[in-house]
Amino acid sequence: MKIVCLGSGNVATHLAKAIKESGGDLIQIWSKTLANAQALASVLNSRPVDDIKDIDRDADLYLICVKDDAIETVAAQLTGVKGLVVHTSGATAIEILERVGLSNYGVMYPLQTFSKSRNLDFKQVPLCLEAGSEGALQQLHAIAARLSSLVYEVSSDDRKLLHLAAVFACNFTNHLYHLSAKILQQNQLHFDMLKPLIIETAAKVQTALPESVQTGPAVRNDELTMNKHLELLKNMPELADIYETLSNSIKKTYL
């Protein structure tokens, strides 16, 4: 199976590596910045291209891993190719691919947070599939099954909701980690001390619903402790605001 990867960011990097490891033939990596295409291609023993006109038109699969606002432009230049054209975005509907004139298309959204510097087991990455036809869906299932053990069929509407939920569970969570690190750093305390707590908090909800394991002053309605905390944050008004917003939301949930 001949595959072209369009993009060289975090998703492209992890997806291309997983394809290579699963035995796929990654014939080209395209990026509008040649150096980026080269960097990824060299690791994966693939061929870098920066002119979209140089893309092989006979590949079996084209994976679009570019920023959401560039998907349409890139996809429009792939009309008439032989293979299946797939985008990987959580927030973008499948219609965008039909609209540009593609006939064989789909979506494969990996529901995970990717950083180039970090390896992960792609077999454990949930892949959310959608396709423009039954035939394309079958092709996509065959591809996804080689990459991951966690394959779901998800409509564009549901994918957008998953993407939104992921912002709460991942992006906002990581920002809370950052804010906790900031509180510690300003007082010469080491973020290392919080690491076991962070892992255990995530591990707990693998087997229990989050609402059944909520702890802390807000769920106990412990006003004394919450007031002490707000006092500690009096020189960090932004953190105090977040503290109050989230504590009020917890209090309301468990009222």
- Which residues between 142 and 181 bind its own copies (CB under 8 A)? 150, 152, 158, 160-181
Least separation, in Å, of the C-beta of 123 and its own copies? Answer: 10
Does 227 help bind its own copies (rule: CB under 8 A)?
no
Exactly one of 12, 28, 84, 229 binds its own copies (CB under 8 A); which one? 229
**Which one, 57 or 190, has the nearer CB to its own copies?**
190
Least separation, in Å, of the C-beta of 108 and its own copies? Answer: 14
**Which one, 82 or 175, has the nearer CB to its own copies?**
175
**Which one, 20 or 204, has the nearer CB to its own copies?**
204
Largest CA-CA distance found in the chain, in angstroms, rounded: 68
- What is the Cα–Cα distance from 153 to 102, expressed in whole angstroms? 21
Least separation, in Å, of the C-beta of 63 and its own copies? Answer: 19
Question: Binding marks (x or -) toward its own copies, 88..127, rule CB under 8 A?
Answer: ---x-------------------xxxxx-xx-x---xxx-
Cβ-based burial of 110 (10 A; exposed 0-12, middle 13-18, buried ≥19): buried
Does 240 help bind its own copies (rule: CB under 8 A)?
no
Pairing between β-strand 127-131 and β-strand 105-110 as defined by DSSP bridges = antiparallel
Amino acid letter at 205? V
- What is the Cα–Cα distance from 36 to 8, expressed in whole angstroms? 6
Question: Binding marks (x or -) toward its own copies, 35..74, rule CB under 8 A?
Answer: --------------------------------xxx-----
**Which one, 38 or 92, has the nearer CB to its own copies?**
92
Q: Per CB under 8 A, which region of 51-59, 76-84, 100-108, 238-246 contacts its own copies?
A: 238-246
> Of residues 19-38, which lie at the interface with its own copies (CB under 8 A)?
none
CB count within 10 Å of CB 8 equals 26
Least separation, in Å, of the C-beta of 148 and its own copies? Answer: 10
- What is the Cα–Cα distance from 239 to 56, expressed in whole angstroms? 51
- What is the Cα–Cα distance from 169 to 163, expressed in whole angstroms? 10
Cα angle vertex 95, ends 140, 1, to 5°? 25
**Which one, 69 or 134, has the nearer CB to its own copies?**
69
Burial 233-255 (b: 16+ CB within 10 A, else e): beeeeebbebbeeebeebbeeee
